[in-house]
Structure formats: C-alpha cells, structure tokens
Amino acid sequence: MTLTWAQLRDLKCGELEGAADGWGRASNRADAGRDRIEKQLLTGLRGTQRGAAAEAAVGRLQQMSRNLQYVYTECGLLRTTLNSLAHELRAPQRALRDALDDAENLKFTVHADGSVTYPAAGDGLIDGKPLPGGTASVSEAPGLLPPSGLVAPNPNVARAQDIADRVAKAVRTAAEIDWRYARILRELRAEEGLKVPDATWTDAAGDAAAVRDAARGYLKDGIPRDASPAERKAWWAGLTDEQREEYLAVYPDQIGNLDGIPAVVRDAANRDNLQLLMGKLEGRDDAKSETQLAGLREIDRQLREGRQPPMFLLGIGDQGNGRAIVSFGNPDTARNVSAYVPGLNTSLDEDFAKNDLKRAWDTAKGASKYDHSSAAIVWLGYDAPQTPDGLASLAVMGDERAEKGGKSFNGFMAGLSATSETGDPHLTAIGHSYGSRTVGAATQHDGGIPGVDDIILVGSPGVGVDRAEDLGVGKEHVFVGAAENDVVTKLPSKQQSAAGVVGLVVGGPKVAYMAGDIADQADDDLWFGKDPASQAFGARRFPVNEGPPLIGGGGFSLDAHSQYFDPKRDAVSADSIALIATGRSREIKMEEPR
C-alpha cells in the first residue's frame, strides 16, 4: 500500500511510542523474572539442596533464565525499533505539515496526488491583468530546477512548485523509513517452543545488529564515547529509566564496555552481550571464532555457577584477540580493588577463562580473609603479544602493545575511581609477565594510573623504567615477586640477546633453549629495562616459592612463571598479594632484592 501525504499528516507517532512502552513493560517483566531466578531461586537451591533432583532443578531454572533473557532482549529490541520508527517519522511529518501550512496561508490547494493549485497573481506584461493560476505537479528533480520568472511570470508558480516538491519529498522519506522498519519488525519474531537454542541467539545477534543500524540517530549518537569516565557516569545518571533500558537492550556492547558506567549496569549489559556474541560466533568454522567461542562458553558457565565472591562481567568483546574483564566482588562497593593485567600469549580462549579468571578469584578469596570488602579483577582489555605457532621468541615482545594497553588500562582504572561508592577505595594494579610491562606503560601517561595506591609486579621481564620511584606511587608502594626458577624474570637485555636467536615453546613439549643465553646471569638488565627484583630498581620484594626448575626430572616446565597467584602451589606469594591488595603490606616480611 502506497503511503499518502494525508496518512503521513494524520499519523500519531505517540501511538507507536505507546506500543513501544508495552513491549518495554514485557521486557522489564522478563528481566525481573530472570533476576529473581539468578539471585534468589538458584542461590537458595544451591545453598540448601544436594543430589540429582537438585541438579535437575538447577538445570531447568537455568533454562528458564536463558529463555527469559531472550524474551528480555527481543522485547527490548521491539521497543527500541518502534521508538526509533516514531523518532524518524517525526522529521518528514514535520516537514510535510510545514509545507501544508504554507499552502494554506497562500490559499493554495494541495490535491491527493500531491499537486498544488495556485491562484492568479501578478500583472500581465501587455494588459496588466493578473496572470492566470494553474497547478504545479511534482518535478522530476525537486528543488534542483526552480521555475524561471521569465518562463512563468506568475509569482505563485515557484511557490506552488516548492510546496509540491516538499510534500513529495516528505512522503518519499517517510515511505523509505516505513519500508526499512517494516523489514526489521518482520524479522523480530521468536521460534515456536519453550527452548532457546544457540541458533536462536544467532538470529538474535542479527536482530540486534539490524536494530542498532536503524536506531543509529535515535540512540547511538548520544553515547559519550569521547568523554571522560566521570562525564559518562554523569550522562548515565541523567538518563530516564526508559532511556537506560533502551540503551541496554540495543547497545549492550557499547554500555557494557564504557568506562564510567556503574559495575552492576556493565555486568547486566555484558551478560546480554555475551549471549549475542556466542550467537554471532556460533557456526563459524574459522579458528579464531572457535577459540573465542570456547572462551565465551566457559565464562558463561562460570557466571551461571553462582561463585562467591559474585562475578561481575565488566567487559566482553571479540575484537582483536578478544576482550574480557571479570571482577570477583563489586568494585563499586568494595573498599579494596585490585586489577590484574595478564601477559604474553593471553587471549580470549578457554585457557584464559579457566586459568586467568582463577587467578583473580584466588586473589579475591585471599583478600576477603583480611577485609571482606574486597574485589579482584582480571583485565584483558588489550591485545597481548601472541607467539607464532606456539614459539615464544623475544622478538615479539615489543613496546607497542604495552603502550596501547596501558592507555586503555588507565581509562578503565579511571572508571573504577569514578563509579566507586566508597569515596577513596584502595586500588592495586597487578602486572604479570608482559602485563607488568603494560602496567609500567600505564604509569608513564599523564598523571599515572588513576587512583592507584600500590603496584604489584610478578614474573616481570621489566616494566620500561629503571627505578621503582618512576612508577608514580612511591617506591615503597611498588612490590615485586620473582621466583628463583622463573626464567622470564631473568631474560637477557635486548643488547645481550641481539647476537643470537633465543626461543622457547610456551606450554609445549619442545624447547629451543640455550641456558647461557636466556638467563641473564651477568647483571640486572632485563628485556624491558632494570630487573624489578634488583636492588638497583628499588622496589620491595615479597617472598615467593622458588618454583620448579625450567628443566628437571619431569622435563621442561614453565610452572615457576605461572603459580604466583595459586594458594596451593605458592601459598606465601598468594598471601602476600592478598595482603598488599588490602593495604596490609606492613604485615609481610620482605625479602632482600637480587
């Protein structure tokens, strides 16, 4: 059916917005139901029941929660689609009404086909009588070829033609908008049945992408991407509840990864975005998608497991090698917050989801022994260097990724400071392996790492500066853990290694290794500068286990590099990290530097 100007004139955009409100209420009810399942029913069931029946009930409740999450997402998309449709239609409707008002004031008549009849006007060149009226039809190129007074001296001709062209343009614009949104709305429908399989989330990911594209002017342009975290917090606080709900439904990826947005909001957005990401990657057969999908599924599994301290998903994405920021404990309400930056070969995969998340979880549990108001974060907000085909060559460990990562890390930490409800939380930045170089880079930006009180460096190949005091928190607040058998803490300087090629297989059975080359026995210069555990660097060295040797009776092992956070394999190191993270470093008996 062809849209007419009369239909556009009489369109009640408020009715579209009323329908949007109805879908919004349905979305909110689904979200409330899901929230009750996750925070009350599942928590209570896990805490009081055991056995096969309880496990079956947990599974059914989790399925119901997943279904309600899908209802929440789709109903939210419908709400925003209708609101965005009303928003876009208002512009051509306003243009049409302005043209009709002009026609009425001039005593012109606008016909159903859009042509405009005008009266006689002006003076004839010969007899001085008014020039006859007529009818202007829609031109082929509205506005491009205005009538010339020499050809049609009646002054009403140009005015009538302008009105006819404006009417036609408004109707054409509205018709295009209507067609575009009708196509989107036809796609926003659920499959029959009570289950929401992975394929359905794949469709939902496509739905969200379509609505995002359509709602670009309505919502996306309002997101303050270039603002400071404090300004973003103020922006979010100034939105209405309906506006927040729409942003969460349509742009969970944007809101969930925006530093300065409260943690509970980021968590809610990212849990939805996690489902959309898994749907997006489902069925792809390239190695990157399969690897990231495995990592996302493991994170999703842990989120549904009900761990304590509770998990908050503060960031998730598939860009680059993947992004994931997970906090154990709410960083906005905790007095003590630590953020751990992983290093070389870290990416969004199953290994990260199992091992790196466990390091933050171990730190959170350890810190809670000393202060229950603690949160521990693992921050994969950058592309750590990846070694080709599993071969770790010193050549891949340049400064560029650390510099970019350090800037992003500072934005995240500024966000923690902005959203904290405790006023002045105790913040600790923890860098492991190449992550310590990233933390070091973060300290060199203007003002250093926002809000950070203490810095912990473990398994570090250097941080890019030669003195602890250059990290901006005072050398007495820089702490180093370096296991005797951790080869990464003894990497030679770039000058020392320039004469030969040194490589080792990370986590693999083979090794290209020359003990005299890889271990810096001559001085305290490492790959990225002075050894943080050295006396010359000037940091405080806390005790750690020496760890298993690189080559021993069991073969090749890098375990000494990876056990700093583990309370079972290195209890003294894990406890030291927990004490520092809670501001109790005075209770640690420090070791002598190298």
> What's the mean pLDDT in 522-541?
84
Percentage of the chain lying above the pLDDT 90 cut? 55
Tokens of 188: 């926003």
Binned at pLDDT 50, 70 and 90, residue 468 comes out as very high
Give the pLDDT band (50/70/90) at residue 126.
Answer: low
Q: How many CB atoms lie within 10 A of CB 355?
A: 15
> What pLDDT score does 507 carry?
38
What's the mean pLDDT in 452-456?
A: 98
Indicate the pLDDT class of residue 476, thresholds 50, 70 and 90: very high
Res. 513: pLDDT tops 70? no
CB burial readout 102-120, b (16+ within 10 A) else e: bbeebebebeeebbbbbbe
Q: Model's pTM, two decimal places?
A: 0.78
Kindly list the distances between the CA atom of residue 503 and the CA atoms of 120, 121, 329, 389, 491, in Å, as whole numbers in the listed order.
91, 91, 39, 12, 11
Structure tokens at 297: 């599924």
Helix 357-368 and helix 571-581, axial crossing angle in degrees, nearest 10: 70
Looking at residue 196, its amino acid is V
- Secondary structure (3-state) at 380: strand
pLDDT of residue 352 exceeding 70, the answer is: yes
Alpha helices by DSSP H, listed for 188-262, are: 198-214, 229-238, 241-250, 252-256
Token duo for residue 383: 């592309």
Exposure b/e, 283-319, CB count within 10 A at least 16 = b: eeeeebeebbbbbbbbbbebbbebeebbbbbbbbbbe
pLDDT at 252 exceeding the cut of 80: yes
Residue 307 reports pLDDT greater than 80: yes
Asked which of 82-96, 346-360, 406-420 is least confident by mean pLDDT, the reply is 82-96
Q: Rounded distance, CA 364 to CA 432, Å?
A: 16
Return the closest-CA partner of residue 114 out of 153, 162, 178: 162
Note whether 486 and 468 are within 8 A (CB): no
Count CA atoms within 13 Å of residue 43 on its CB side: 12
Choice between 541 and 13, residue whose per-residue pLDDT is larger: 541
Which residues are 316's β-sheet partners?
Answer: 324
Average pLDDT value over all residues in the chain: 86
Residue with tokens 């989801």: 353
Cis peptide before 132 (omega within 30 of 0): no
SS3 assignment for 181-206? HHHHHHHCCCCCCCCCCHHHHHHHHH
Is the pLDDT confidence value at 489 over 60?
Answer: yes
**Average pLDDT, stretch 446-464?**
95
pLDDT class for 217, splitting at 50, 70, 90? low
| Cα dihedral sign, 150-156-159-161 | negative
Question: At 398, is the secondary structure helix, strand, or coil?
Answer: coil
**Quick one: pLDDT at residue 362?**
98
Q: Which of 28-42, 70-84, 200-214, 252-266 is the least confident region?
A: 200-214
With bands split at pLDDT 50, 70 and 90, how would you rate the model's confidence at 302?
very high
Secondary structure of 71-108 as H, E, C letters: HHHHHHHHHHHHHHHHHHHHHHHHHHHHHHHHHHHCCC
Instruction: Give the mean model confidence (pLDDT) for residues 234-247.
Output: 91
The most confident of the ranges 135-144, 207-216, 237-246, 262-271 is 262-271
pLDDT score for 145: 45
User: Cβ distance 434 to 384 under 8 Å?
Assistant: yes
Residue type, 484: E
Q: Is the CB of residue 92 less than 8 Å from the CB of residue 156? A: no
Following DSSP, what letter does each residue of 425-472 receive, concatenated?
-EEEEEEETHHHHHHHHHHTSTTSSTTEEEEEEES-S--S-S-GGGGS
Per-residue pLDDT band for 502 (boundaries 50, 70, 90) equals very low
